[in-house]
């Protein structure tokens, strides 16, 4: 083998094999034509990349010492050998191009402008800074396929989830995506997961995209600000939350912040920017805004609850830090309805950890409801939706029952 081919292969083949392996799984498990097309495109790209070094540098005999005429003959031989090998890669290139063309043709139309429409249904807005990247793979790959891919791989890298739980999660989330596929606004909203991937791959945490799902009826509405957990904001969260929230006349506002490390610099600033934008629209009743966080979003809830007054505060399968709870109650007071909803079988955030935080809340005089869902693990939002809706409805009823804040 030509030494240059060996060197180039050493650089290209290992990452190509990894990408190709993931793409092959996507090709098999995808639910949508765009997902299948992208899987096929990247499998073809992997094969082409792996073969490229051998096409560029075909093996040719070379004497230790050679004349000018012999060198020219060897060079000509290499050019003749290279041409058909490069031509042989064209079918792979064609598959890549066709796959990308299919994905682009079926991609969502894009993030809406900052003009909030006074109508129900999901709106995907960009608050900045910067601009959204609609050419990125997370935008082109349907979110349901990204979730199916993750559910097939996560048990290999996450010690807190096994294959059975992965399968249960896949069934539950697939059912949700089947439902929201019939809602044109959700189907066309586009994914915010690119912000999470950027941080997980070593980039800086970014914010900017916010989902808004207004309740039927229009006009000025109270709102639930929802902070996603680790891994980024997904539409399935919003679909699971919206029935109970809309039933009480609340809008759902869900900002995105990277991979969900809300306790890092930039997390509370994202909440601040979201609140400022909400107030600027005039579309929300800012005296009736509550906050809820899922999993790692609980870190953001605890910090936002020390920075702003809220009408209600909730942790949903959340990280509830005992050492932050006294400060939360000091800021919110003892009348603000608080909800801690947790799965009794959650081994990611164990019950005894949550128990300690609830003890501090109650000891500080907080108006807190602690609901444990029997048999539910960390993903109760997907697997125990009736319990989720009942807990949210009761919490928002308590919020609505509070007398208006003086002044």
Is the pLDDT assigned to residue 108 strictly greater than 80?
A: no
**Closest of 114, 131, 5 to residue 58, by C-alpha:** 5
pTM: 0.88
Q: Which of 63-67, 344-348, 376-380 has the lowest mean pLDDT?
A: 63-67
Give tens-digit pLDDT for 261-277.
999 999 999 999 999 99
DSSP readout, 79-134?
HHHHHHHHHHTHHHHHHHHHHHHHHHHTS----B-S---SSSEEEEEE--SS---T
Residue position matching structure tokens 């791989």: 153
pLDDT tens-digit profile of 379-400?
Answer: 999 999 999 999 999 999 999 9
User: Percent of the chain at pLDDT above 70?
Assistant: 87
Tell me yes or no: is domain 121-401 CATH 3.40.50.1820. yes
Lowest-pLDDT range of 54-63, 271-280, 354-363: 54-63
Res 60: pLDDT: 53
pLDDT at 114: 60
pLDDT value, residue 407:
44
pLDDT for 49: 85
State the pLDDT at residue 157: 85
pLDDT number for residue 53 = 75
């Amino acid at each position: 083998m030509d030494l240059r081919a060996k060197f180039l292969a050493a650089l290209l083949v290992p990452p190509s094999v990894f990408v190709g392996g993931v793409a092959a799984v996507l090709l098999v498990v995808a639910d949508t034509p765009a997902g299948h097309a992208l899987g096929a495109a990247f499998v073809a790209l992997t094969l082409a990349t792996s073969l490229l070094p051998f096409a560029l540098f075909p093996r040719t005999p070379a004497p230790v010492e050679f004349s000018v005429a012999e060198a020219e003959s060897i060079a000509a031989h290499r050019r003749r050998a290279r041409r058909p090998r490069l031509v042989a890669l064209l079918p792979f290139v064609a598959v890549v191009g066709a796959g990308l063309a299919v994905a682009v043709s079926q991609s969502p139309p894009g993030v809406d402008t900052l003009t909030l429409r006074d109508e129900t249904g999901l709106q995907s807005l960009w608050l900045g800074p910067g601009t959204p990247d609609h050419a990125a793979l997370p935008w082109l790959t349907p979110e349901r396929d990204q979730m199916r891919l993750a559910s097939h791989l996560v048990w290999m890298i996450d010690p807190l989830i096994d294959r059975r739980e992965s399968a249960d999660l896949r069934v539950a989330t697939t059912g949700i995506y089947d439902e929201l596929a019939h809602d044109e606004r959700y189907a066309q909203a586009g994914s915010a997961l690119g912000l999470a991937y950027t941080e997980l791959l070593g980039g800086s945490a970014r914010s900017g995209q916010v989902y808004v799902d207004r309740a039927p009826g229009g006009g000025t509405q109270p709102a639930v600000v929802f902070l996603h957990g680790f891994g980024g904001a997904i539409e399935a969260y919003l679909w699971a939350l919206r029935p109970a929230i809309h039933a009480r006349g609340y809008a759902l506002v869900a900002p995105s912040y990277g991979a969900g490390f809300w306790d890092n610099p930039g997390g509370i600033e994202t909440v601040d920017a979201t609140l400022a934008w909400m107030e600027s629209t005039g579309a929300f009743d800012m005296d009736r805004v509550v906050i809820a966080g899922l999993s790692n979003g609980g870190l953001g809830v605890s910090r936002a609850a020390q920075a702003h007054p809220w009408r209600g505060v909730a942790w949903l399968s959340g990280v509830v830090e005992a050492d932050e709870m006294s400060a939360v109650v000091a800021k919110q007071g003892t009348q603000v309805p608080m909800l801690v909803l947790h799965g009794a079988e959650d081994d990611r955030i164990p019950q005894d950890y949550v128990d300690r935080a609830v003890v501090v809340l109650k000891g500080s005089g907080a108006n807190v409801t602690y609901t444990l869902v029997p048999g539910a693990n960390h993903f109760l939002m997907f697997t125990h939706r009736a319990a989720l809706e009942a807990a949210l409805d009761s919490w928002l009823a308590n919020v609505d029952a509070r007398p208006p804040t003086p002044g």
